[in-house]
Amino acid sequence: MRTRRQVLRAGAAAIAAGLLPARGAAAQAPAPKRILFLGGTGFVGPHLVHAAVARGHRVSMLNRGRRAPNQHAGDFEKVEALRGDRSQPDAYASLAGRTWDVVVDTANSVPWTREAVAALKGAVQQYVYVSSTGAFGRTARWRFPKTGRSCSTTRRRARRRASA
């Protein structure tokens, strides 16, 4: 049985592979993209940054600068560091007047994401949101009656019904 960490890591790799196509011998190498990561030093971000840097993309990161990445630390020397605390009103001041091809948001806060989308309107071509916590909300633990196995449940069904 796979752990949540393994599933999310595999999902991050799949997103990185789809967002950042690998260079094949027969394919012409795509032009490097300008990619902005919002956050990026926690659980999923370092893997996505690693994939982007490995493919030659120009990477910028907006974060508080309080924590070192937990994986692929060597890649972060090749990344433009932009400071901004998303819990503060001036969080996106360092992004003013700049543009990116792609923004990758790894926040677990839906309000932060709404604010980022508003602040970056017109400055990005594609916005990618990667967050299981932000997408599904808090989880509740329960057990299957017949097997006794534990399972995480979410408010996903309620949200689907509400949006239908």
∠ CA 142-5-82, nearest 5°, is: 125
> Does 87 lie in the same domain as 64?
yes
pLDDT in tens, 30-83: 789 999 999 888 878 888 989 999 999 999 999 888 877 667 778 888 899 999
Buried b (16+ CB within 10 A) or exposed e, 103-139: bbbbbebeebbebbeebbeeebeebbbbbbebeeeee
> Does 91 lie in the same domain as 44?
yes
pLDDT at 104 (0 to 100): 94
Residue 44 covered by a domain = yes
Residue 23 covered by a domain = no
Residue 89 covered by a domain = yes
Residue carrying the six token digits 């027969």: 26
pLDDT at 88 (0 to 100): 92
> Does 65 lie in the same domain as 47?
yes
Structural domain containing residue 163: 139-164
pLDDT in tens, 132-156: 665 555 554 544 455 554 444 444 4
> Does 147 lie in the same domain as 123?
no
When divided into structural domains, the chain yields a total of 2
Strand pairing category for 150-153 and 124-129: unpaired
> Does 146 lie in the same domain as 88?
no
- Total-model pTM: 0.66
- Give 82's strand partners: 62
pLDDT in tens, 81-92: 999 999 999 999
Burial of 9 (0-12, 13-18, 19+ CB in 10 A): middle
